[in-house]
């Protein structure tokens, strides 16, 4: 794909994750910079009119430092955690006010939430619902129970995971750097900003080195690693300057802004490949011929009504094989319900799920996005 085509694709990206680093929200002394924040929020509000928007926001620690009246960000991890806990509610209040009249939702995640299949699905389903209700999720790391981002990330890795989690079309990382340079711009006067990166290489990662600032945690290296991960999942990624007015708007107009990392085509289906090959099935769902056709030809999800028989013992989130009535395995997916629950709702209509289980989860037994056709 030509560089311009990649930029144009950003103009039509439907579901976008924007990560806002501490540096994009604070001034040089590390204080929360409200005018800055409000200008960014304005751009995000405009963006959210035509796209599905998910925000990953840092800034809890910076706001906590301010609220606690500390001279500087604590150096020890528990100190940072305490600041994050104090600052998180302020951060959300700021988002709530700035994004008004749109609604925002606080979502606190950790890396292990995304690695655990069950929690992964729970988080995804909740986020999907928020997005379809036109609520804007504002995600931060749950700093009380996880210190990955406080230690090295400034939410860069989390943003990458979230982009994969919601199957975003694009991830934009806003920070205090303009993008990726061909040399360190602090030491090389003639360093040039790279407009498009086809593939993140080892050499680039090695050259990226440490953090450039004292307020945020993640340096170029964590940003590059996040870019590498999401592009391998087929998500387009841009690293750009958060403090320059209009950056975000220009990125989504397809202009040459920051550094664009192209998605890696061959691995676009990494997630389904993972479901198909890396996971061992814990059970089997035998489906009727109507459901088989709907799954294979119309690319639908599997509804409980199409299930004839449930074999094995598995919990919700576990991988299951899908077979037709002759026993031929034609797909594998993650079950949205456990085996016992599926036995109760197999063959039943969506409207009967609640009466059969006493609660209503998803309409689908295996959602299309969690399904790999073999």
> Site residues (CB under 6 A) for ligand GLU?
22, 58-61, 84, 140-141, 143, 149-150, 154-155, 216-217
Sign of CA dihedral 101, 107, 40, 200: negative
Q: For residue 132, with 0-12 CB atoms within 10 Å meaning exposed, 13-18 middle and 19 or more buried, which class applies?
A: exposed
- Rounded Cα–Cα distance for residues 46 and 136 (Å): 13
CB of 64 to ligand GLU, least distance (A): 8
Smaller CB separation from ligand GLU, 114 or 335: 114
Which element (helix H / strand E) includes 92? Answer: helix 77-99
CB of 61 to ligand GLU, least distance (A): 4
CB of 67 to ligand GLU, least distance (A): 12
Smaller CB separation from ligand GLU, 147 or 205: 147
CB of 85 to ligand GLU, least distance (A): 10
Backbone angles phi, psi at 365, to 5 degrees: -85, -40
Smaller CB separation from ligand GLU, 159 or 302: 159
Smaller CB separation from ligand GLU, 158 or 241: 158
Smaller CB separation from ligand GLU, 158 or 168: 158
- For residue 254, the number of C-alpha atoms closer than 13 Å in the C-beta half-sphere is 12
CB of 82 to ligand GLU, least distance (A): 12
Smaller CB separation from ligand GLU, 8 or 144: 144
Beta bridge mates, 39: none
Which SS3 state, helix, strand or coil, does residue 240 take? strand
Q: How far is CA 242 from the centre of its chain?
A: 19
> What residues contact 75, with CB distance under 8 A and at least 6 apart?
none
Residue 196 contacts residue 234 (beta carbons within 8 Å):
no
* Strand-pair category, 15-20 with 170-175: parallel
If you write DSSP's letter for every residue of 175-197 in order, what string do you get? ESS-S-BSS-TTT-TT--B-SEE
Smaller CB separation from ligand GLU, 59 or 283: 59
- For residue 59, the number of C-alpha atoms closer than 13 Å in the C-beta half-sphere is 28
CB of 213 to ligand GLU, least distance (A): 10
CB of 331 to ligand GLU, least distance (A): 38
CA distance to 264, 341, 351, 354, per residue, from 359 (Å): 41, 11, 11, 5
CB of 143 to ligand GLU, least distance (A): 5
- Rounded Cα–Cα distance for residues 153 and 272 (Å): 27
Count the helix, strand and coil residues of the chain and give each as a percent rounded to the nearest 5. Answer: 45, 20, 35
Smaller CB separation from ligand GLU, 140 or 247: 140
CB of 124 to ligand GLU, least distance (A): 21
Bond from prior residue into 59 cis (ω within 30 degrees of 0): no
CB of 192 to ligand GLU, least distance (A): 28
Smaller CB separation from ligand GLU, 59 or 333: 59
Beta sheet of 136-141, edge-to-edge order: 104-109, 136-141, 52-57, 15-20, 170-175, 236-241, 259-261, 196-197
Beta bridge mates, 323: 286, 329
Residue 87 contacts residue 67 (beta carbons within 8 Å):
yes
Smaller CB separation from ligand GLU, 56 or 372: 56
């Amino acid at each position: 794909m030509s560089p311009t085509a990649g930029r144009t694709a950003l103009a039509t990206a439907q579901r976008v994750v924007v990560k806002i680093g501490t540096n994009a929200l604070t001034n040089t002394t590390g204080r929360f910079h409200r005018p800055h924040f409000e200008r960014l929020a304005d751009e995000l509000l405009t963006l959210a009119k035509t796209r599905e928007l998910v925000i990953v926001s840092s800034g809890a620690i910076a706001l906590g430092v301010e609220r606690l009246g500390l001279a500087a960000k604590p150096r020890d991890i528990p100190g940072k955690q305490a600041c994050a806990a104090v600052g998180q509610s302020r951060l959300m209040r700021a988002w709530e006010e700035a994004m008004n009249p749109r609604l925002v939702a606080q979502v606190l995640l950790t890396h292990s939430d995304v690695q655990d299949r069950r929690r992964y699905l729970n988080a995804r389903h909740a986020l999907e619902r928020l997005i379809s209700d036109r609520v804007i999720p504002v995600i931060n790391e749950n700093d009380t129970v996880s210190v990955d981002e406080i230690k090295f990330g400034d939410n860069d890795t989390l943003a990458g995971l979230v982009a994969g989690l919601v199957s975003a079309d694009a991830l934009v990382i806003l920070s205090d750097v303009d993008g990726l340079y061909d040399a360190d711009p602090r030491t090389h006067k003639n360093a040039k900003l790279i407009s498009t990166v086809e593939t993140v290489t080892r050499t680039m990662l090695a050259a990226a080195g440490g953090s450039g600032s004292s307020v945020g945690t993640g340096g170029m290296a964590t940003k590059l690693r996040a870019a590498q991960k999401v592009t391998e999942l087929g998500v387009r990624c841009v690293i750009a300057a958060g403090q320059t007015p209009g950056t975000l708007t220009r990125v989504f107009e397809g202009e040459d802004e920051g550094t664009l990392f192209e998605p890696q085509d061959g691995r676009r289906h990494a997630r389904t490949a993972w479901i198909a090959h890396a996971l061992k099935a814990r059970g089997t769902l035998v489906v009727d011929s109507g459901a088989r056709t709907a799954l294979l030809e119309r690319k639908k999800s599997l509804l409980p009504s199409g299930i004839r028989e449930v074999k094995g013992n598995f919990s919700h989130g576990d991988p299951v094989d899908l077979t037709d009535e002759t026993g031929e395995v034609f797909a594998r997916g993650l079950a949205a319900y456990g085996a016992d629950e599926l036995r109760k709702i197999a063959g039943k209509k969506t409207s009967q799920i609640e009466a059969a289980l006493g609660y209503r989860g998803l309409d689908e037994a295996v959602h299309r996005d969690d399904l790999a056709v073999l």
